[in-house]
């Protein structure tokens, strides 16, 4: 090749600078040799005589030559990539994971992965990518699973259209207007808190769940355990069927069976078959159903498999006996006192202590009577008092009867044992032991040696366990009395349990008087046990207390819990009467800045929620959607269409 050809093939740079080696740009010995190599390869490819000038080549020949020059580096890269892929395929996935976990600085890459042009981390990632693609490309499709059995028929009527749309809105958690920014709830109702009420109302009317919304209903029950009983009852037999197809909904198979298809309690063969072969949730539901109709039959059914059940299952089955508990259950519960499981023994003892005529209650009464007595030494001076001598040991017989020997942290052994004895003793023991006094008179007696708090707390637990309204009234005391100075216990959690024993009307009346006397700051737990919707006196007492708090100039955030309860528990018919509270009054000089506006928003949300609840109940009261039959049932019962006949040509 001549120098002219060299100049044509590799033109000099504009600056004419010499390249390393002292030669002009484009005319170095290396450049000449490189050009000769490409010219010869291109000339052989196109059958051109060697040395043919570039200007004499045709345009297609020149384009082919340039493409060949470009393919040469690409071919080299392809060969390198193939080699890297082969090296990656030879390395196991576990080895790549090990290197990634330890790091390339601490673990050397397998041979063949790393190269001079690629650092170790990049080589590791490339190898993992090659290996991943190879594994996915070689994946063999699994055989098709059998089709699930058809969904069972739900005989309940479908929801009215408006109620169905409302349910979809509640499940989606959407509200009519967006909440205000900055953490403020604004005036929009909290739809998620209304879902439990909607489900309870739909279940009372025995509506079936729309098939399209069943997944959302089960997802809501999965996220909120408080929804599960009502949600599973609403989901029905189809909800249980659907839960068996998705592992995320297995809780429905374990924790409740109100949606399962249970046999008639009078069908002994079907009951026995399901009891012996059914799922655990189905068996719990079956036992509860049979117990509601025939407690003796349910107990006999449980006794047939009791010895072969697991400890956790025995505990759940035993707990189902709380409903309809009677003296007829005593022999079975006495045998359960010797169970291998400590939890089963404790539950059996608790149930027996709820039966004042049981042998265990009598044993506990004897023990408690030796610890608690009336001191008459100061009778002439009117100084009778209750004396307490706590037990000094917890023997084997006490432990068999459910007394736990080990106290929790911070409790003394003797006071722990005393409390368990007194709470398990029948309450009718004490009037005769205390000189024929009534419960109110007994709890008013002074107690020696600072045992009053422990003794009264044990009597509170006994009143709750034995559902004794007389003792509950005595231990609650007058609602106007200061909680710390009244009888019983100052714990509002224990007071709420005592209130739950009273009839609904008396319960609401007591809480209304308490709110009127003490305000709302300590009434949250007491309000939570009142029947929904609240009675008119209770509702008025709560609203009046909220109005007083607003006039005091404080922010409504301190009463957010009570305001939330009012939104869910006030009678929806009170919305119009409360409309006047939604206005924004003039701010007082000593009020917190902006408090009036916040209170106005809170009352607007309260009124809006009450009206929404009224609309929900009205929608559920509409006639069922008979015009739109059950789509699942229609699809299963519809005849298959005959194929159309082809006309003759």
Residues 559 and 614 in one domain: yes
Identify the bridge partners of residue 24 per DSSP, sorted by sequence position.
18
Residues 609 and 516 in one domain: yes
Range of the domain at 33: 1-8+26-56
Spatial contact of 506 and 540, defined as CB atoms under 8 Å apart: no
SS3 118: strand
As a whole number, the mean pLDDT across the chain is 81
Other residues' Cβ atoms within 10 Å of the Cβ of residue 56: 9
Residues 532 and 444 in one domain: no
Copy the structure tokens of residue 352: 């027996």
Out of 62-66, 153-157, 310-314, pick the least confident.
62-66
DSSP secondary structure, 312-368, as one string: HHHHHHHHGGGTT--GGGHHHHHHHTT-S-HHHHHHHHHHHHTSTTSHHHHHHHHHH
pLDDT at 614 > cutoff 90 = yes
Residues 45 and 79 in one domain: no
Q: Map tokens 């609602």 to a residue.
A: 479
**pLDDT higher at 224 or 381:** 224
Residues 313 and 303 in one domain: yes
Does 181 reside within a domain?
no
How confident is the model over 322-337, as a mean pLDDT? 94
- In whole angstroms, give the CA distance from residue 351 to residue 341: 16
How confident is the model over 305-334, as a mean pLDDT? 94
| Interval 227-240: pLDDT, tens | 998 999 999 999 98
> What pLDDT does residue 118 have?
75
pLDDT at 445 > cutoff 60 = yes
**Final residue belonging to a domain, choices 288, 319, 347:** 347
Q: How many structural domains is the chain composed of?
A: 5
Query: Where is 373: in which H helix or E strand?
Result: strand 372-375
Residues 330 and 384 in one domain: no
Spatial contact of 470 and 426, defined as CB atoms under 8 Å apart: no
Does 146 reside within a domain?
no
> What pLDDT does residue 631 have?
54
Copy the structure tokens of residue 103: 């790091």
Does 404 reside within a domain?
yes
Residue-wise burial string across 305-319, b where 16 or more C-beta atoms lie within 10 A, e elsewhere: ebeebeeeebbbbbe
Determine if the pTM surpasses 0.85: no
Residues 582 and 619 in one domain: yes
- In whole angstroms, give the CA distance from residue 542 to residue 520: 7
Does 188 reside within a domain?
no
Does 336 reside within a domain?
yes
Copy the structure tokens of residue 43: 């000339």
pLDDT at 80 > cutoff 80 = no
Number of helices and strands in the chain (H, E): 31, 2
Does 232 reside within a domain?
yes
Helix axes 413-424 and 342-353, enclosed angle (nearest 10): 50
Q: How confident is the model at residue 484 (pLDDT cuts 50, 70, 90)?
A: confident
> What pLDDT does residue 513 have?
95
Spatial contact of 26 and 12, defined as CB atoms under 8 Å apart: yes
Spatial contact of 289 and 265, defined as CB atoms under 8 Å apart: yes
- In whole angstroms, give the CA distance from residue 259 to residue 235: 6
CA count, 13 A, side-chain hemisphere, 392: 0
Residues 462 and 554 in one domain: no
| Interval 245-299: pLDDT, tens | 999 998 887 654 444 557 888 899 999 999 999 888 789 889 998 999 999 999 9
> What pLDDT does residue 179 have?
44
**pLDDT higher at 12 or 165:** 165
pLDDT at 131 > cutoff 60 = yes
DSSP secondary structure, 217-274, as one string: HHHHHHH-GGGHHHHHHHHHHHHHHHHTT-GGGTHHHHH--TTS-PPPTT-HHHHHHH
Residues 231 and 313 in one domain: yes
> What pLDDT does residue 73 have?
52
Out of 113-117, 337-341, 373-377, pick the least confident.
113-117
Residues 341 and 219 in one domain: yes
Residues 76 and 116 in one domain: yes
pLDDT at 582 > cutoff 50 = yes
**pLDDT higher at 464 or 65:** 464
**Final residue belonging to a domain, choices 470, 493, 517:** 470
**Final residue belonging to a domain, choices 112, 133, 154:** 133
> What pLDDT does residue 512 have?
96
Does 559 reside within a domain?
yes
DSSP 487: S
DSSP secondary structure, 600-648, as one string: HHHHHHHHHHHHHHHHHHHHHTSPP-TTS--HHHHHHHSPPPPPPPPPP
> What pLDDT does residue 575 have?
92
Does 632 reside within a domain?
no
Residues 524 and 416 in one domain: no
Copy the structure tokens of residue 189: 């109702």
| Interval 10-59: pLDDT, tens | 433 333 333 344 443 333 433 434 444 444 444 444 444 444 444 445 55
Tell me what percent of the residues of the chain surpass a pLDDT of 90: 51
């Amino acid at each position: 090749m001549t120098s002219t050809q060299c100049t044509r093939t590799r033109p000099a740079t504009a600056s004419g600078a010499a390249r390393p080696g002292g030669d002009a740009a484009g005319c170095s010995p290396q450049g000449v040799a490189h050009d000769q190599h490409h010219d010869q390869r291109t000339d052989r490819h196109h059958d051109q005589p060697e040395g043919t000038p570039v200007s004499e080549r045709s345009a297609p020949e020149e384009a082919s030559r340039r493409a060949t020059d470009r393919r040469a580096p690409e071919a080299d890269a392809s060969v390198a990539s193939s080699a890297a892929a082969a090296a990656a395929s030879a390395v196991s996935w576990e080895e790549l994971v090990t290197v990634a976990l330890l790091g390339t600085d601490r673990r050397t890459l397998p041979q063949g992965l790393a190269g001079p042009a690629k650092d170790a981390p990049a080589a590791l990632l490339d190898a993992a990518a090659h290996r991943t693609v190879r594994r996915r490309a070689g994946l063999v499709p699994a055989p098709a699973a059998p089709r699930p059995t058809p969904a069972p028929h739900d005989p309940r009527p479908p929801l009215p259209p408006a109620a169905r749309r409302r349910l979809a809105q509640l499940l989606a958690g959407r509200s009519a207007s967006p909440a205000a920014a900055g953490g403020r709830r604004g005036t929009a109702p909290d739809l998620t808190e209304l879902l439990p009420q909607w489900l309870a109302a739909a279940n009372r009317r025995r509506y079936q769940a729309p098939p399209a919304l069943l997944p959302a209903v089960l997802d809501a029950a999965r996220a909120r355990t408080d929804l599960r009983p009502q949600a599973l009852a609403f989901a029905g037999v189809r909800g249980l069927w659907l839960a068996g197809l998705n592992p995320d909904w297995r809780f429905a198979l374990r924790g409740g069976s109100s949606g399962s298809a249970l046999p008639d309690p009078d069908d002994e063969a079907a009951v026995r078959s399901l009891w012996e072969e059914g799922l655990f949730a189905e068996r719990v539901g079956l036992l509860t159903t049979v117990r509601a109709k025939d407690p003796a039959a349910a107990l006999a059914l449980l006794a047939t498999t009791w010895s072969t059940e697991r400890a956790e299952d025995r505990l759940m089955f035993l707990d189902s006996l709380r409903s309809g508990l009677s003296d007829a259950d005593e022999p079975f519960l006495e045998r359960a006192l010797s169970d291998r499981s400590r939890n089963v023994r404790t539950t059996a003892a608790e149930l027996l202590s709820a039966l004042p005529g049981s042998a265990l209650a009598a044993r506990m009464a004897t023990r408690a009577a030796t610890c608690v007595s009336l001191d008459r030494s100061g009778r002439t001076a009117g100084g009778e008092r209750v004396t307490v001598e706590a037990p000094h040991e917890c023997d084997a017989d006490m432990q068999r009867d459910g007394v736990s020997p080990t106290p929790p942290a911070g409790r003394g052994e003797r006071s722990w044992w005393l409390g368990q004895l007194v709470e398990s003793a029948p309450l009718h023991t004490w009037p005769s032991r205390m000189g024929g006094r009534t419960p109110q008179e007994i709890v008013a007696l002074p107690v020696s040696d600072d045992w009053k708090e422990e003794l009264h707390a044990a009597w509170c637990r006994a009143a709750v366990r034995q559902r004794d309204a007389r003792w509950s009234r005595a231990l609650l005391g007058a609602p106007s009395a200061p909680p710390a100075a009244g009888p019983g216990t100052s714990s509002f959690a224990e007071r709420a349990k005592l209130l739950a024993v009273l009839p609904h009307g008396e319960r609401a009346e007591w809480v209304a008087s308490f709110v009127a006397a003490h305000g709302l700051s300590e009434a949250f737990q007491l309000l939570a046990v009142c029947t929904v919707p609240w009675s008119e006196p209770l509702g008025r007492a709560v609203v009046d207390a909220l109005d007083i708090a607003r006039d005091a100039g404080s922010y409504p955030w301190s009463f957010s819990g009570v305001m939330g309860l009012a939104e869910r528990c006030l009678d929806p018919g009170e919305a119009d009467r409360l409309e006047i509270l939604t206005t924004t009054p003039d701010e007082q000089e000593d009020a917190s800045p902006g408090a009036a506006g916040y209170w106005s928003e809170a009352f607007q949300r309260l009124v809006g929620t009450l009206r929404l609840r009224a609309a929900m109940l009205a929608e559920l009261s509409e006639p069922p959607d008979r015009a739109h039959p059950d789509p699942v049932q229609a699809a299963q019962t519809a005849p298959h269409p005959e194929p159309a006949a082809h006309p003759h040509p």
